Amino acid sequence: MNIILLGPPGAGKGTQAKILVEERGMIQLSTGDMLREAKESDTEMGRRVAEVMARGELVTDEIVIGLIEEKLTGDNGGGLIFDGFPRTLAQADALGELLEKKGAALDAVIEMRVDDEALVARVSGRFTCGNCGAVYHDETRPTKVAGVCDVCGSHDLKRRADDNAESLKQRLMEYYKKTSPLLGYYYCKGNLTGVDGLSDIPVVAAQVKEVLDNL
Ligand code: AMP
């Protein structure tokens, strides 16, 4: 089963993807994570990507489609979760072609609905564990012991460079201009379903489960 989690920054795509990885053995393909990794490399591409991401703009279609294409070779196990990809109509078309070439289908596109004010609050308090990827929030989901990950005990807790008010505004603008047209695109293809991304994490997870169980 291959699915897309679609929604603005902070909608909870990564959190829900991690739950699906644990519960269903699916594979999370997050272009944001891939780009953050590329950014660390001491290359011209890494430096360009870092600048674009810091401004909250989208990286070129060519780069992200290339990253996804590399991951689509071979056996994709329990199914793929596209998290943060596609973000433009050109990326959506490319994904359709890549899946078709593999003889694979897109089974569902889940829109995580949230409102902008809630996003700003969520994103500005967010931090993650650099070791295991667990996601926390200053107010709504703090660690039990300050500075220590509840899951793996690591002290490597980090905030993303682009989780600040300025970048977030730009990221939201990019979402509404370039990514939200995908809702109409997938609605017309017949595979769009919405869940209430503002509910608590387990409630959203239950809604996602219901969508997948009904496929
Ligand atoms: P994310 O972790 O999904 O919020 O992505 C962080 C940043 O990576 C975005 O603000 C973009 O700069 C870049 N990015 C991630 N995925 C894509 C994509 N599919 N297309 C273009 N840029 C992307």
Residue nearest to atom 1 of ligand 1 (CA): 32
pLDDT digits (tens, 9 = 90+) for 6-61: 999 989 999 999 999 999 999 999 999 999 999 888 888 899 999 999 889 999 99
Predicted TM-score of the model (pTM): 0.91
Of 181, 191, 165, the closest CA to residue 87 belongs to: 181
How many A from CA of 145 to the centre of ligand 1? 31
- What pLDDT does 117 receive? 87
171 is catalytic: yes
149-161 CB burial, b ≥16 within 10 A, e <16: beeeeeeebeeee
* Residues within a 6 A CB radius of ligand 1: 9, 31-32, 35, 52-53, 56-59, 64, 84-85, 87, 91, 162, 171
- Mapped onto helix, strand or coil, the DSSP state of residue 67 is helix
pLDDT < 70: residue spans in the chain: none
How many A from CA of 194 to the centre of ligand 1? 21
| Active-site option among 18, 87, 122, 178 | 87
Residue nearest to atom 14 of ligand 1 (CA): 32
